[in-house]
Amino acid sequence: MIPMLEVFPSVPGMLIYIAALMLLLLQFAVLLHSMQDKGSKRSLRCAVLHFIVSFLIVGLMLCAANAYKILDPGEVLVPGSLPDRIFSVPWIVFAAWDIWAAWMTFLQIRQYFRYVKTHLAQNAVKETLDWLPVGVCISDTEGTVLLYNLKIDALSQNLTDQHLLDSRSFWEQVTKKGTAQDHGYLLQTTDGHAYLFTKTPLTLHEKGKEKHFEQMIASDMTDAYRITQELTANNKHLKEVQYRMKEVAAYERSLIAAREIIKARTAVHNQMGSVLLSGKYYLDHPDGMNEAELLRLLEYNNYFLLREAENQEKETDVLQKALKTAQCIGVTVEFKGTLPERETAREILAQAIEQCAANTVRHAEGNCITVTLTETDEQIIAEFRNNGKAPEQPVTETGGLLYLRKAAEAAGGTVTVQSTPVFVLTVSVPKT
């Protein structure tokens, strides 16, 4: 068989050497990947053994090639030396070694890709966390961040202008800027998104010992927050519509009652006109009328008119009218103290009751007003409170409150509005 020495200077010999060097580099790359991924120990041992054997064989081949290159023209290798023995091996052996090394490298690469497809890499958990739309942060009880994803780091930069390094300080910013919810804090970022931040403890058992951690989750609640805001606005609008409907219903009942009274009065007045005409006719023709029947008609009409006058006198009290108006819209008025007797004071007090009753239903969502009356030497002071919620913003005096102030000041009194911590309307009028 032809030894390697005769083939080495030719193209086939150079191809054998080049193939051996390239396969050695490829085996080294396979070995590095096997060590980094920490896969099967058997595969790692095969990769190490294959690389060492290939390294030794390629080293011997390079040693022989170097000895051959330094020979002078006509000079031969020293018989029995290591380069001479290497080049004495048939070239087919080296070619077979290259083929075998290529096949083994191919098997190792295929085994590596199979392992990658069926096993998790070291950074697989981190990459998965980074792709989550939910912000996740794991830290120890001192606030040192151990694991976090890109989402919560971006939120940290949005809120604190820095990367997430300390979970405790980041949570303090969340609690400071967010709104407390049942399970965490709702916070709206500068880009218009809303997130629900929750924090829960984690306990891991390892070798009989407990390790405590803290888990922070930031869930995107933008759509739910927008829907909640819309529902809140709609509910507020419905409350106003409900109040308007109550007012319209009460006003409609008053119109119906007034219409019936007008009909009754018209009928009585018409009948009274006929009675007067009958009386005139009786005076002119006493023999042509039944005196008993005429007297009965006069008695009936006089009785109705007298009762009508009494009812009108009873309804002239503006304070009682204001209480009925409040009752019609579902508001109860409770008094503490003595009601004033002066007509002007009662009118201003009635106007204040009507205004407070309307605002209690419309804004405070309450159903009861408490009026505390006190007196000084010169003034009567009335404080109005309700059982509804406190105003979210300072009360602006418009509409009814503005008219109430003008009426009180025209009578020599004052009006004071308190918005926090609860709504209190104070009205003072002179006693005389």
Q: Are residues 247 and 200 in the same domain?
A: no
**100 plus 144 within the same structural domain:** no
Write the pLDDT tens digit of every residue in 253-276: 666 666 666 666 655 555 555 556
* pTM for the structure as a whole: 0.38
Percentage with pLDDT > 90 across the chain: 9
- For the segment 23-50, the average pLDDT, to the nearest whole number, is 81
Structural domain including 331 reads 318-430
Q: Are 66 and 46 in contact (CB under 8 A)?
A: no
CB atoms within 10 A of CB 353: 25
Cα–Cα nearest to 350, from 412, 410, 427: 427
Same structural domain, 42 and 86? yes
- Quick: pLDDT tens for 346-394: 888 888 888 888 888 777 888 899 999 999 888 999 999 998 888 888 8
Give the pLDDT band of residue 129 (cuts 50, 70, 90).
confident
What pLDDT does 217 receive? 92
Asked if 61 and 107 sit in the same domain, the reply is yes
Instruction: Let me know whether 340 and 402 are in one domain.
Output: yes
Measure the CA–CA gap between 408 and 428, rounded to whole angstroms: 8
Tokens describing residue 210: 């407990």
Instruction: Give the whole-angstrom CA distance, residue 338 versus residue 341.
Output: 9
pLDDT higher than 90, residue 59: no
- Note whether 286 and 346 are same-domain residues: no
How many domains does the chain contain in total? 4
Chosen domain end from 191, 220, 249: 220
The residues with which 179 forms a beta bridge, in sequence order, are 186
Residue 358, CA atoms < 13 Å, CB-side half-sphere:
16
Both structure tokens of 100: 């075998």
Element (H, E) at 5: helix 4-7
Residue 322 in this model has a pLDDT that exceeds 60: yes
Could you tell me if 280 and 342 lie in one domain? no
| Separation of CA 56 from chain center | 67
- 157/234 Cα distance (integer angstroms): 35
Question: Is the domain of 111 the same as that of 16?
Answer: yes
> 109 and 52 share a domain?
yes
68 and 169 in a single domain? The answer is no
Band of pLDDT at residue 64, cut at 50, 70 and 90: confident
Band of pLDDT at residue 239, cut at 50, 70 and 90 = confident
Highest mean pLDDT among 33-37, 213-217, 232-236, 387-391: 213-217
Which pLDDT value is given to residue 11?
87
- HSE-up of 186 (CA within 13 Å, CB side)? 16
**Mean pLDDT, to the nearest integer, of 40-55?**
84
CATH of the domain at 181: 3.30.450.20
Residue 43 CA: distances (Å) to CA of 25, 100, 110: 18, 17, 11
Average pLDDT over residues 15-27: 89
Last residue of a domain, one of 118, 151, 171: 118
Same domain for 209 and 288, yes or no, is no
Domain CATH code at residue 350: 3.30.565.10
Q: Is the pLDDT of residue 316 over 60?
A: no
User: What is the Cα–Cα distance from 417 to 393, expressed in whole angstroms?
Assistant: 13
For 246-283, letters b (16+ CB in 10 Å) and e give: bbeebeeeeeeeeeeeeeeeeebeeebeebeebeeebe
Q: Which of 60, 91, 118 is the last residue in one of the domains?
A: 118
Clarify whether residues 376 and 416 are in a common domain.
yes
Q: Are 22 and 111 in contact (CB under 8 A)?
A: no
User: How far is 215 from 238, CA to CA, in rounded Å?
Assistant: 41
